[in-house]
Amino acid sequence: MRPADLRGFLAAKRKSGSGARSLGRHMAGLRSLLRYLEKKGLVNAAGSSAVRSPKQPKSLPKPLSGSQAITVVSAETQMHEEPWIAARDAAVLTLLYGCGLRISEALDLAPPAITSGTTTLRITGKGTKTRLVPVLPVVITAVETYKALCPYHLAADQPLFRGARGGKLQPAIIQREMQRLRSALGLPESATPHALRHSFATHLLSAGGDLRTIQELLGHASLSTTQVYTGVDSARLLEVYERAHPRA
């Protein structure tokens, strides 16, 4: 099959309304079929490698609203019956939303990292890139409440956040608790622990934060990674405009 044939097929599909994701699936299916037919000696599939799949659009992060995020991280909202575990979950989620941490970054913290006098956190993120993140008083309160209730000795060289049996808390536990919260609060499937980090960035941008600062707070190596949040904010502004403007 010639590359021109495949390009013609994609053009016809695009003209009929197929988007980039659909076209990508079509191309993947065709390549698989052509490879199978080539093995049978029925076609030459070399032409398929000369045609690039359509560039996929970047999906925008789906942040929670301000009120949703505050409800999710609230100690009163946590669903575990054991008080210290409920306090632990609230502290972890508050770190994700209050400091914009990745879940792995929050769970890697040691007890001395956050005390009553802490004002900044030194976080080592992807690629061992280190950044300083301001710590809000509400984050300190959440962590201190957890520390006071935790039944395990929190040694300085051990993890701050513990599982029910005393080992290091695993991300899957927080993800499962978030799933329970999502169901109880009627939140969408996109409301994950990582969505709290997206919410942190989006709400800062909405309140006038500049991209360079948000880039540093998130630990992004490239500003282009952070710029996706401008799309989120623009989408939100357009939604508000269309809902509120009398001529929209």
Return the structure tokens found at 247.
Answer: 């001529």
What sections of the chain are H helices per DSSP? 3-15, 20-39, 66-73, 83-99, 103-107, 137-149, 171-185, 193-206, 211-218, 223-226, 228-244
Give the torsion through C-alpha atoms of 96, 99, 100, 103, to 10 deg.
Answer: -40
Which candidate in 21, 39, 52, 126 is catalytic?
126
Annotated active-site residue 25? The verdict is no
Annotated active-site residue 80? The verdict is no
Which candidate in 147, 197, 198, 203 is catalytic?
197
Annotated active-site residue 15? The verdict is no
Which candidate in 147, 162, 203, 229 is catalytic?
229
Which candidate in 88, 97, 102, 162 is catalytic?
102
3-state secondary structure of 56: coil
Annotated active-site residue 165? The verdict is no
Which candidate in 7, 14, 62, 194 is catalytic?
194
For residues 109 and 1, what is the distance between their CA atoms, to the nearest angstrom?
56
Annotated active-site residue 194? The verdict is yes
Please identify which residue in the block is written with the tokens 């009398």: 246
Q: Hey, which residues are catalytic here?
A: 102, 126, 194, 197, 220, 229
